[in-house]
Amino acid sequence: MNIIDELDWRGAINQQTDADGLKKLTEEKAVGLYAGIDPTGDSMHIGHLIPFMILKRFQEAGHKPVIVIGGGTGSIGDPSGKKSERVLQTMEQVKHNEAALTKQMLKFFGNENFRIVNNRDWLSKISLLDFLRDYGKLFNVNTMLAKDIVASRLEVGISFTEFTYQILQSVDFLHLFKEEDVQLQIGGGDQWGNITSGTDLIHRMEGQDAKVFGLTIPLLLKADGTKFGKSEGGNIWLDPEKTTPYEFYQFWLNQDDRDVVKFLKYFTFLSKDEIDRLAETVKTAPEKREAQRRLAQEVTGFVHGQKAVEEAEHISAALFSGEVSDLTASEIEQGFKNMPTVEVDAKKENIVLWLVDTTKIESSRRQAREDITNGAIRINGEKVTDLEAEIDPASHFDGKFVIVRRGKKKYFLARVK
């Protein structure tokens, strides 16, 4: 299947500047293409992942992706999607973010048939006079104002700095066309105005016969009409320090039946036959959630590796069954991140006093005794019914944690000081 046909089947194409021309080009040669990301943070989130998954598909099909880290554009701010001006970051913060994003990209794309560049390397060499003479003269203000990316800001106002962003992004495309043999820019739907400004600039400077193309990806909406990419707790980050691999896995596992096939097409490299098979299971056996589990496995594996998938599934199984005794300290850090947590000393203590006075897991000694004798209390996965039992915080999990389960589902984590 041609790469453009595949993207179309996956529902990953919104707009193209020349659909027939681009498809023909991809059949004739290995195409250079790029997407950019500004270093406004030190990690991508899953919303950022969408265009880079498209780049990865091109790479797998033998094409030549280039990623632009926007050290130059990121220092001034993209007006896209914002109702007010971005707060400018310090250059130290920008450089820190550049390094972090570069590390993530190398993990996803490797070093073969792939390049990362930074637009500060060429934008910083353009003087103000050269910018105005060589580029500014070629942009019509009326046309720029009509671009959605700018028009959406006119009511509340936009600074000249952010207004010029589309010129700088156009210069990026021109530079990559001339120096890196890049002919295609990919971006989200909100980047259409910037992308077409770039193709227009190349045609003006290199001739109307220059083969350059733009392709945007649809805004990804969930079945309930809300924008994809966030959970109740906020962004789902690709950095495991911000969103643990277990949380990441659970996010995908919990997707709605109405969305899961769409997300399998967008975020996995599974074949059409396999996705069609999983789509059938959603209809015939939705209670098994096989499609969601496969989605979670594939995306978590791509972002964090197979070991992270195995750990996430181990944590999930342990929490579901209550058999937590063989969890590692690292797995407890992930799986119990959002559980009620208290800090305790390492000293041994009677279970009743520990549950009431030390941790306040139980509201009273009477209630604690009742729960213990009824078998409702498990410590580190083991049922405790002896009122004289002692809690030894140093006995499990490298002496770092005590896991308490009250009833069937209520977990508490005691973190040893």
CATH of domain 3-217: 3.40.50.620
Per the annotation, does 93 bind a ligand?
no
Sign of CA dihedral 293, 294, 295, 298: positive
> What does pLDDT average to over the chain?
92
Q: Per residue in 69-127, pLDDT tens? A: 999 988 877 776 566 677 778 889 999 999 999 999 999 998 888 999 999 999 999 99
Per-residue model confidence (pLDDT) at position 232: 62
Confidence at 231, pLDDT banded by 50, 70, 90:
low
pLDDT band, very low/low/confident/very high, at 147 (cuts 50, 70, 90) = confident
CATH number among 1.10.240.10, 1.10.10.10, 3.90.10.10, 3.40.140.10, domain 230-321: 1.10.240.10
Q: What is the mean pLDDT of residues 175-204?
A: 94
Task: Say what the pLDDT of residue 322 is.
Answer: 87
Supply the pLDDT for residue 229.
73
Q: Taking residues 278-298, what's their average pLDDT?
A: 97
pLDDT digits (tens, 9 = 90+) for 37-59: 999 899 999 988 889 999 999 99
User: For a pLDDT cut of 70, what percent of the chain falls above it?
Assistant: 97
User: In which element (H, E) is residue 395 found?
Assistant: none
* Cα angle for residues 201, 202, 203 (degrees, 5° grid): 90
Contacts of 347 by beta carbon, 8 Å cutoff, 6+ apart:
393
Residue 315, pLDDT score: 96
Q: How far is CA 38 from CA 50, 87, 99, 157, in A?
A: 15, 14, 12, 22
246 is in an annotated binding site: no
pLDDT at position 133 is 94
pLDDT of residue 280: 98
Domains 230-321 and 341-416 share a fold: no
| CB-based contacts of 292, cutoff 8 Å, min separation 6 | 252, 253, 254, 255, 260
pLDDT at 268 over 80: yes
149 has a pLDDT exceeding 90: no
Structure-block tokens of residue 330: 């690292």
Supply the pLDDT for residue 113: 86
Residues 375-411: tens digit of each pLDDT = 999 999 999 999 999 999 999 999 999 999 999 889 9
**Which DSSP category does 31 fall into?**
P
Check the annotation: does 208 bind a ligand.
no
For residue 32, what pLDDT is reported? 97
What's the CATH code, domain 341-416? 3.10.290.10
Does the pLDDT at position 337 exceed 80? Answer: yes
Instruction: Measure the CA–CA gap between 92 and 78, rounded to whole angstroms.
Output: 19
Please indicate if the annotation marks 306 as binding a ligand.
Answer: no
CB atoms within 10 A of CB 84: 10
Q: How many helices (H) and strands (E) does the chain have?
A: 19, 15
Residue 81's pLDDT is 57
Quick one: tokens of 135?
A: 């580029």
Evaluate whether 198 touches 174 at the Cβ level (below 8 Å).
yes
CA angle (154 as vertex; 153, 159 as ends), nearest 5? 75
Average of pLDDT values for 303-330? Answer: 93
Share of the chain above pLDDT 90, in %: 78
pLDDT score, position 83: 63
Residue 148 scores a pLDDT above 80: no
| Domain segments of the chain as ranges | 3-217, 230-321, 341-416
Distances (CA, A) of 196 to 16, 21, 184: 10, 15, 11
Contacts of 130 (CB under 8 A, 6+ apart): none
